[in-house]
Amino acid sequence: MKGKNGSARREYVVGIDLGTTNTCVAWVDDSVPTVIPNKGGYKTTPSMVAMSESGKRLVGHIAKRQAITNAQNTVYAAKRLIGRKWDSPAARAVQQSCPYVIVEGPHGDVRARLREQVYSIPEVSAFILQEMKLIAEQYLSVQVDRAVITVPAYFNDNQRQATKDAGRIAGLEVIRIINEPTAAALAYGFGKDLERKVAIYDLGGGTFDVSILDIGHGVFEVISTAGDTFLGGEDFDIRVMDWLIQSFHEKTGVDVRDDRMALQRIKDAAEKARCELSIARETLIDLPFLYTTPTTETLHLQETLSRAQLEELTRDLVDRTISICERTLSEANIDRGDLDDVILVGGMTRMPLVQQRVAEFFGLEPCKGVHPDEVVALGAAIQASALLDESQDILLLDVTPHSLGIMIVGGYFHKLIEQNTTVPTSASHVFTTVRDNQTSVKILVLQGESDQAMDNELLGEFILSGLRKAARGQVEVEVTFSISADGIVSVSAKDLETGREQSIKVTATSGLTEDELQRLVEQSQSYMVEVRTSEEFERRRQQAERLIAEVRALLPTVKGIMSGTSFGRDAIAKAEAALDRAQTEMSATDLRGLTEVTESLERTLNMFRGVVSKTGLT
C-alpha cells in the first residue's frame, strides 16, 4: 500500500492530545513533527459529542455548531469526568454547571445521558478519539491503529486507565500514555542540542499541570510535577457565566439556570468573551431573546465586560496555579533562578493575567517559541516515532505524580513510594501484626497524598493468610511496591519467617468491566465499517457525477457519429442505460451497485473519447 507521499507502506503511529476543549492529532513526517488538519482545515477539533434527534452521532465542529439548540444532548469537557467516581466533588460540580445530564453508572462511575441512551465517559472520549483516527486515516491514506495519547501529569491511575480504555474502544492500540507537560518538553527540545532546566506551565480547558524538567542531549528527565485535574478554562468560563446570570437576575428577576438552551447560550458567550479579552480591553456580550416569560415577554441580555473585570473575577484561579508552581519548586528543592526557560502550554495561557503572573513568579519572560494548542500533540507524535524507531536518540525519564502506599492501623496512609519518584522503581517496608494471634493481613493499596487512608484513591486490595499465631508485633510482613516504565504497579506481601508470599498486579479501573469494554469495541468496529462504507460511497458518488457529466457532454457528438450502424446504436443504448442506472444507484445508496455502474461509465467514457478522437471532432 502507498503512503501519503507515494512511498511503500510503513507503520503509522500518531500522537493525540485528548483535550478538555479541543483535541489535536499529529505525526512525524520525515523527522518533522506535523499536526494533521481535519477536513475543514482546522488543526484542532472541539472535544464535543452530540446525539441528533434522528440518533446520528455528531463529533467536533458539527457538534459544537448545534450545541445551543441541542444543549441537553451535547457533551463537552468530558475529560474532567473521565475515571472519576459518581460521589466525587468534580461530578457534583459538573452537575450544577452543565446543561447535559450525568447519571451514576452501575460501578459507581459517572455516565452521560444523550437522548435515551446512557454512555460511559470513556465511551464519549472514544467517539472523539475515533474522529481523530478518521482524520489521520483520511490525511495519510492508510489505516491507523496505534497511538500515543497524552494525559494531565496529575491524572491518577484510574483516569489514565480510563483514557487507555477510550483508545481501545476507538480501535486504537495505545502504545504509551505520556504526561502533557512532558510531551510539550519533547516538542520544545526535539532536534536541538540543548542543556536547559525548564518549567512547563500547562493551563488548558479543564486541567492544570506544572512540571520541572532537565533537558540535555536527547535526555528529558522530569524532576517534579504537580497539578489540579479540575482547574482550567471551564472554571474561568463558569465565573463569567455566574456574573452574567447574576446580572440578568438583578435586572429582570429571572434565574435562567433551569433553562438549558439559555444556559448554553450564556456558556458560549462567556467563552467567546474570555477569548476576546486576551486581545481587547473590553467586549460586548449581546444575547437577544434570551428568555421568554410565561406572559410571552421576551428578555434580552446585554453586558459589557472589561479585561479588568475578568481578571477580578478569576484572579484567585490564576493564584491557585501559582501556588502549585511554588509547591512544585519547593518539593524539588529548585530555586527559581536555576530555571532557564518557562514554557506556556494550553489555550488559557493566552490570557494576559496568566502571562503576567507567570513572569512575575518565575522571574522570566515565558518562551513564545511553541504553539500552546499544538505542542502537546507534536510531543506525543515525537514519542510515538521514537517508540517505533529505536535508533532515535531520545530518552524520557518520567515520575510518578502521586505517592503509593498502604493503609496501616488507625486508618493512616503509609507511603512506600513518594510522589515525583523516577520510574521504574521499587520500594519495600517491613510491617508487624497489630493483634494477638493474627493469621492474616489485608493489604489496601492506595494512591494519594493525604495522611488519612480513606481520603486517597483505592487501587486494589489482597490478603496474605497463613501467618503463624503469635503475640502482636512478633510476625513480620515485608510489603514491596514496584512501578514499571509503563506505570504498571505491582504489590507483594511476604511473611519473612515462612517465606509465604502473596502479590497482585494493580489494575486501575475506568468504571467499565471487561465484558462492557469488549462489547463497546465491537460496536466501535461496526461503526467504523459504516463510516468507511459511507465515505467510500461518497467518493464513488462524486466520481459517478463527474463521469455522468462527461458522458452526457460527449453523447450528442457520439450519436452523430455512430447512430448509423447497429453496433453504434447498441453502444449508445448501453451508455444511456448506464446513465439511468447510475442515477438509480446513487438514490438507493448501494455501494456495490454504484461501484459496478461507475466502472461501466468509465469504459463508456473511454470509448466515447476514442470515437471522438479518431474522427477529429471535439
402-506: CATH number: 2.60.34.10
46 band by pLDDT with thresholds 50, 70 and 90:
very high
Q: Terminal CA-to-CA distance of the chain, rounded, Å?
A: 38
Mean pLDDT to the nearest integer, 363-368: 91
CA 28 to chain centre: 19
pLDDT score of 37 = 97
In b/e form, how buried is each residue of 213-230, taking b as 16+ CB within 10 angstroms? bebeebebbbbbbbbbbb
Q: What is the pLDDT of residue 10?
A: 67
Q: Is the pLDDT of residue 563 over 80?
A: no
For the segment 273-288, the average pLDDT, to the nearest whole number, is 97
3-state secondary structure 94-118: HHHHCCCEEEECCCCEEEEEECCEE
CATH of 233-315, one of 3.40.190.10, 3.90.640.10, 3.60.150.10, 3.40.50.970: 3.90.640.10
- What is the tens place of the pLDDT at every residue in 217-272? 889 999 999 999 999 999 999 999 999 999 999 999 999 998 999 999 999 999 99
Dist. CA 58–CA 79, nearest whole Å: 17
- Among 384, 431, 417, which residue's Cα sits nearest to residue 484? 417
Residue 8: predicted pLDDT: 44
Cα 163 to chain centroid distance, Å, stands at: 8
What would the pLDDT profile of 98-120 be if each residue is shown by its tens digit?
899 999 999 999 999 999 999 99
Task: Indicate whether 546 pLDDT > 50.
Answer: yes
- Report the C-alpha gap between 396 and 334 in whole angstroms: 20
C-alpha cell at 7: 512511498
- Output the nine-digit C-alpha cell for 594: 454504484
Whether residue 617 is predicted with pLDDT greater than 60 in this model: the reply is no
Q: What is the mean pLDDT of the chain?
A: 90
Q: In what order do the strands lie in the sheet with 341-345?
A: 341-345, 195-203, 208-216, 219-228, 395-397
Is residue 6 predicted with pLDDT exceeding 50?
no
- The upper half-sphere exposure of residue 279, i.e. CA atoms within 13 Å in the direction of its Cβ, equals 4
Q: Is the per-residue pLDDT at 195 higher than 70? A: yes
Q: Percent of the chain beyond pLDDT 70?
A: 96
Rounded CA-CA distance 582/578 in Å is 6
Residue 4 has pLDDT above 60, yes or no: no
pLDDT value of residue 1: 36
Which residue numbers are catalytic?
Answer: 17, 79, 180, 202
Average pLDDT over every residue of 509-521: 83
Is 3.30.420.40 the CATH classification of the domain at 13-232+316-397?
yes
Q: 47: pLDDT confidence band, cut at 50, 70 and 90?
A: very high
Sign of CA dihedral 575, 580, 586, 589: negative
pLDDT in tens, 416-445: 999 999 988 999 999 999 999 999 988 899
Looking at residue 506, its pLDDT comes to: 76
Q: Over range 315-322, report the average pLDDT.
A: 98
